[in-house]
Amino acid sequence: MDTFQFSRPTTVDQAVQLGSRSSTAQQAAEVRFVAGGTTLIDLMKLNVERPKQIVDINVLPLDKIETAPDGGLIIGALARNSDVAHNSTVQRVYPVLSQALLSGASPQLRNMATTGGNLLQRTRCVYFRDTAHACNKREPGTGCSAIDGHNRMLAVLGTSKDCIATNPSDQNVALIALEATIQVQGKKGNRSIPIHEFYLLPGSTPNRETVLEPGDVIVSVTLPPPVAGAKSLYLKLRDRAAYEFALASAAVVLKLNGNKVEYARIALGGVGTRPWRSLEAERALKGNSINATTFRRAAEEALKDARPASENGFKVELAKRCIVRALTMSTVA
């Protein structure tokens, strides 16, 4: 780990100023915000991240979980994953988010990890984390070792010729299904970014994962008011029961009108280069009867554009079964 300058701002404005001291992409990579540090510190130890300045934002007053004026929920960027998962309103009104958080990491890590930090969680692709191998996400233009290498855990949706790394988050799959909005403060002022616009596909620039700009500080995540009568559920399939990333996961928000689907939101984890919302699956569900045929059709639609690599073709069928199972479980009274 290299030496670095350490700063601890006491206001968001100060944090923005410290984080904005860059004019190029290279300089931007030299400044990093740290809160829980559960990803950043690991990557610094591996020399994947080599910032010249660390801006510690832990003392900023961004850890509240509050009801929004419209009846939704405002989750501060520094709210710990464990606090969000066990919050009574989240458990009662947005159970898919609580379930997703509790399926991730370990209790110790959930006690440290933050909502904002989880939004920016980096891939666990082994080549990204090993500086001995080429990785376009870590060092643009060097190539993607995963395409012809060990890619069992990697993405089948949203991939490109330059990157097939998977987004590892559980939290963000649930937030996609809940249609969250991310509140950001930066050099250009305050912005509200719908989560479906927050993440970028890798394309030819896999090193750029979000729309954030240098100095941008995530201040909160806003959940819209719950859909009356809807049920939500998160299902995660993995190699072992704890402390493991998803091979495939599904976040489902579903409202029925009798035996037909009135409202559906479907998001997938473990299979996409970003938390993956499936509009195709939602369209296949809406207005149709709840049965195995409808659920399977929705699953087929969700994975129709999958492009598996040499070792992860099994994920296509696994993700389909995950969707069907999640939908079936969510319709049980």
Helix axis angle, 314-330 to 292-302, nearest 10°: 140
Per-residue confidence (pLDDT) for residue 27, from 0 to 100: 54
3-state secondary structure (DSSP) of residue 286: coil
Per-residue confidence (pLDDT) for residue 292, from 0 to 100: 98
Cβ–Cβ < 8 Å for 35, 119:
no
3-state secondary structure (DSSP) of residue 263: strand
Per-residue confidence (pLDDT) for residue 333, from 0 to 100: 59
pLDDT, tens digit, 9 for 90 and up, residues 229-272: 999 999 999 999 989 999 999 999 999 999 999 999 999 999 99
For 216, the token pair is: 């941008």
DSSP assignment of 104-155 equals: SS-HHHHHH-BHHHHHTPPP--TTTT-TTS-BTTTSTTS-BTTTTS--TTS-
d(C-alpha 297, C-alpha 301), whole Å: 6
d(C-alpha 313, C-alpha 290), whole Å: 28
Q: Enumerate domains of the chain plus CATH numbers.
A: 5-56 (3.30.43), 231-330 (3.30.390.50)
Residues of the chain with pLDDT under 50: 23
Per-residue confidence (pLDDT) for residue 22, from 0 to 100: 59
Per-residue confidence (pLDDT) for residue 297, from 0 to 100: 98
